A = this chain, B = another copy of it.
Amino acid sequence: MTKNRNPLSAREILARNLKDMRGKLGLSQEALADMAGLHRTYVGSVERAERNISIDNIERLAKALNVHTSSLLME
């Protein structure tokens, strides 16, 4: 029997992807925040899945990371 993992929320998936992709580009939270026109502390809280981010800001982060918006939500 396979384990019953509880599904990640969309917030958590986004948080993980953000952190991964940012790390692969060697960017700090602050650098990414600047590129996306957002605040340093805000990006941090999104990566901790604490914030209910809006679609416009998901898009800004995607553009800063040079990926499609949907890929930030892909599991």
Write the residues of chain A forming the contact surface with B, with a CB cutoff of 8 angstroms: 9-11, 13-14, 52-56, 58-59, 62, 68-71, 73-75
Contacts and interface: CB of A to CB of B under 8 A. Distances in A.
A47 to B, nearest CB: 13
- Which of A10, A53, A55, A59 has the most chain B CB within a 10 Å cutoff? A55
A62 B11 CA distance: 13
Count of chain copies: 2
Contacts of A69: 10, 13, 73
Contacts of A13: 69
A59 to B, nearest CB: 4
A71 B13 CA distance: 14
Given A70-B75, A75-B68, A55 B56 contact: no
